[in-house]
């Protein structure tokens, strides 16, 4: 388990960058992609403060021609290349036009060769834009075989990523010199630019339903082939995992309860199951407990050593033996803990991006929502609006990084005013949008928190009050407060 100092700034290990002198600032504020293409084709130069030097974006026209030539020679090459390249990966606009024509003809089940593609481009009125039919024939002549098309496609793709990096760098430079708005927001925008490049994302994220259905069917088939094996991040609770099939990428899960019900303990149980039991990289952002307190709770739960024995220094020899037995597994777990005070949404987002890139982060736990700050320069109209904005941003974070995000939340005093004391979703404190943003809402309830002599002492209800992708239910688990954990009833 990686229990260290608060996660540092994601840019901390980046060296100072050269500042662009005023004489080299581009007067047009950055050019669009078509203008860059035109500049590259015309071999124009960028005047840098009196010294003329060429700045052609990264590209490999020979590789682009070889890719297209291979695709015109073999339909197998088309199938290989389409897995690697998108139309916008080509530097030369004419090549993008030819590529799209090849894909369209191929999608119809028709042969794609210089003659059929020339006919398709003629029909579209684009044949002259690509250099005529003669250019299509010359593409085929540039490659002796279609066998290397996939390799050429990788080269084209790499150059495209480098171009996007250059474009992102230009935008980041402009942000820095413009100095408009809050510095934290500018840094966050800069990080988002870089993250988008590394994830090779583009603005063309929309897809026709037909393309999406194919992927959905593949996922259904893959789930079926697992013979009941869990597809999401396991929580360690058998009945809960059966209901949800684990916590899934893109989900925002809210664990809500009144104070002292054990919501932090339940969240730690989820993190323990993911990181310690299944070796899935996880991070806990704790705005309430310190990292040493969290470490003691984790050890208590894992080793089954009473937490009050640890705190009072009254551990027995058996306690020490249990602790020593579990310590190696706990220490080796990919669990990261950040107990930085006054964490803002912006800081959490930046740290999660870095953990995703470096450690393939699989789960985020935030304890708890109402203690967070938005971190933006614009002051929210009310605390309710601020919490609503943070809730929405957590959902966007889950989607962006494709991981489940667990957010703990306080409930208002509504349950205490009812006879049975049971919580409801409407009791979520300070924001109605938490319910709207959440894919799952788990309300934690213990009768013995209100009535010590309750016949259900030691039991807790996980009320799945909202479940966007499945049924709702109430799952009963056992609360072992002395070990700082919840467990399945069967384990008691």
Q: Can you give the pLDDT at residue 42?
A: 41
Dihedral in degrees, nearest 10, Cα atoms 419, 425, 426, 430: 120
In a domain, 250, yes or no: yes
Instruction: Tell me the CATH number at 364.
Output: 3.40.50.300
Q: Name the residue among 163, 152, 157 with its Cα closest to residue 58.
A: 163
Ordered alpha helix ranges (H), 28-92: 33-42, 61-73, 75-82
- Do 241 and 143 belong together in one domain? no
Q: Identify the band that residue 481 occupies on the pLDDT scale cut at 50, 70 and 90.
A: confident
Instruction: Report if residue 13 sits inside a domain.
Output: no
Number of domains making up the chain:
2
User: Does 18 have pLDDT greater than 70?
Assistant: no
| Domain of residue 48, CATH code | 1.10.860.10
Residue 90, pLDDT > 90, answer: yes
pLDDT of 253 reads: 93
Percent of the chain topping pLDDT 90 = 26
Q: What value does the mean pLDDT of the chain take?
A: 80
Q: Are 91 and 59 in contact (CB under 8 A)?
A: yes
Same domain, 326 and 402: yes
Same domain, 167 and 237: no
First to last CA, the chain: 27
Q: Residues 110-148: pLDDT tens digits?
A: 889 999 999 999 999 999 999 999 999 999 998 888 888
133 shares a domain with 60: yes
Range among 223-237, 413-427, 463-477 rated most confident: 463-477
Structure tokens belonging to residue 286: 């704790």
Residue range 61-81: average pLDDT? 89
CB 99 within 8 A of CB 86: no
What are 288-332's pLDDT values in tens digits? 888 888 888 988 998 888 888 888 888 889 989 988 888 888 888
Residue 226 burial (10 A CB sphere; 0-12, 13-18, 19+): exposed
Q: Examine the domain organization and report whether 155 and 272 are in the same domain.
A: no
Per-residue pLDDT, 492: 60
User: What does the pLDDT average to over 184-209?
Assistant: 69
**Same domain membership, residue 430 and residue 299:** yes
**Segment 423-427 mean pLDDT:** 81
Band of pLDDT at residue 228, cut at 50, 70 and 90 = low
Q: Are residues 145 and 234 in the same domain?
A: no
Least confident of 274-278, 369-373, 472-476: 369-373
pLDDT band at 186 (very low <50, low <70, confident <90, very high): confident
Mean pLDDT, residues 158-162 taken together: 90
User: Is 206 a domain residue?
Assistant: no
As a whole number of angstroms, the distance between CA 257 and CA 407 comes to: 12
In a domain, 186, yes or no: yes
The answer to whether residues 174 and 323 belong to one domain is no
Q: Are residues 177 and 260 in the same domain?
A: no
Higher pLDDT among residues 453 and 474, named by residue: 474
Give residue 435's pLDDT band: very low, low, confident or very high (50, 70, 90). confident
| Confidence band of 409 (pLDDT split at 50, 70, 90) | confident
Give residue 131's pLDDT.
92
18 in any annotated domain? no
Is pLDDT of 424 > 90?
Answer: no
Q: Residue 150: what pLDDT?
A: 87
Say how far apart CA 214 and CA 165 lie, in whole Å. Answer: 31
Q: Which residues contact 478 (CB under 8 A, 6 or more apart)?
A: 458, 459, 460, 486, 487, 488, 489, 491, 492
State which residues form the domain around 89. 24-199
For 485, the enclosing helix (H) or strand (E) is strand 485-488
Q: What local confidence, expressed as pLDDT, does residue 362 receive?
A: 93
Distance CA 485, CA 492 (A): 12
**Would residue 303 count as lying in a domain?**
yes
* Residues of the chain above pLDDT 70, percent: 81
Which of 37-51, 138-152, 428-442 is the least confident region? 37-51
Residues 299 and 151 in one domain: no
Q: Work out the pLDDT band at 274, boundaries 50, 70, 90.
A: very high
Residue, of 338 and 209, whose pLDDT is higher: 338
Higher confidence at residue 37 or residue 141? 141
Q: Is residue 282 part of a domain?
A: yes
Which neighbouring-strand residues pair with 252?
405
Assign 15 a pLDDT band (cuts: 50, 70, 90): very low
Clarify whether residues 70 and 162 are in a common domain. yes
The verdict on residue 404 lying in a domain is yes
Strand partners, 476: 461
Residue 369: pLDDT above 80? no
Can you tell me the mean pLDDT for 50-78?
82
Last residue of a domain, one of 152, 181, 199: 199
Query: What residues pair up with 446 in beta bridges, in sequence order?
Result: none
Residues 33 and 92 in one domain: yes
Q: What is the largest CA-CA distance in the chain?
A: 90
Q: Residues 6 or more apart from 252 whose CB is under 8 A from it?
A: 391, 394, 395, 398, 404, 405, 407, 437, 438, 439, 440
């Amino acid at each position: 388990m990686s229990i260290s100092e608060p996660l540092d700034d994601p840019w901390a290990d980046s060296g100072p960058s050269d500042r662009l002198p005023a004489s080299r600032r581009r007067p047009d504020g950055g050019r669009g992609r078509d203008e860059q293409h035109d500049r590259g084709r015309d071999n124009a130069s960028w005047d840098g403060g009196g010294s003329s030097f060429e700045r052609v974006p990264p590209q490999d026209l020979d590789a682009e021609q070889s890719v297209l030539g291979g695709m015109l020679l073999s339909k197998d090459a088309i199938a290989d290349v389409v897995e690697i390249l998108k139309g916008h990966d080509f530097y030369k606009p004419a090549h993008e036009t030819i590529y799209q024509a090849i894909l369209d003809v191929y999608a119809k089940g028709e042969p794609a060769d210089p003659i059929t593609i020339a006919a398709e481009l003629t029909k579209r009125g684009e044949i002259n834009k690509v250099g005529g039919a003669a250019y299509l024939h010359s593409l085929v002549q540039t490659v002796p075989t279609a066998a290397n098309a996939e390799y050429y496609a990788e080269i084209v793709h790499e150059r495209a990523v480098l171009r996007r990096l250059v474009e992102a760098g230009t935008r980041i430079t402009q942000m820095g010199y413009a100095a408009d708005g809050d510095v934290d927001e500018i840094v966050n925008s800069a990080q988002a630019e870089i993250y988008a490049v590394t994830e090779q994302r583009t603005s063309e994220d929309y897809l026709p339903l037909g393309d999406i259905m194919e992927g959905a069917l593949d996922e259904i088939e893959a789930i079926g082939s697992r013979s009941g094996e869990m597809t999401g991040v396991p929580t360690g609770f058998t009945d809960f995992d059966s209901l949800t099939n684990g916590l899934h990428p893109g989900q925002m899960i809210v664990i809500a309860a009144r104070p002292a019900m054990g919501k932090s303990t339940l969240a730690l149980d989820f993190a323990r199951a993911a990181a310690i039991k299944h070796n899935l990289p996880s991070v806990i952002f704790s705005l309430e407990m310190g990292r040493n307190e969290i470490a003691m709770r984790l050890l208590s739960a894992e080793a089954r050593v009473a937490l009050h024995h640890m705190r009072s220094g009254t551990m027995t020899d058996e306690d020490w033996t249990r602790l020593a037995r579990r310590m190696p597994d706990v220490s080796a777990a990919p669990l990261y803990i950040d107990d930085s005070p006054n964490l803002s949404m912006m800081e959490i987002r930046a740290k999660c991006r870095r953990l995703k890139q470096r450690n393939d982060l699989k789960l985020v736990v935030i304890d708890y929502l109402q203690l967070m700050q938005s971190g933006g320069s614009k002051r929210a109209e009310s605390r309710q609006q601020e919490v609503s904005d943070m809730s929405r941003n957590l959902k966007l974070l889950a989607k962006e990084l494709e991981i489940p995000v667990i957010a703990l939340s306080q409930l208002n005093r509504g349950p205490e005013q009812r006879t049975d004391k049971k919580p409801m979703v409407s009791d979520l404190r300070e924001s109605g949008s938490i319910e709207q943003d959440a894919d799952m809402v788990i309300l934690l309830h213990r009768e013995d928190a209100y009535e010590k002599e309750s016949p259900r002492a030691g039991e807790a209800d996980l009320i799945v009050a909202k479940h966007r992708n499945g049924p709702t239910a109430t799952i009963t688990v056992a609360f072992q407060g002395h070990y700082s954990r919840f467990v399945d009833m069967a384990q008691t």
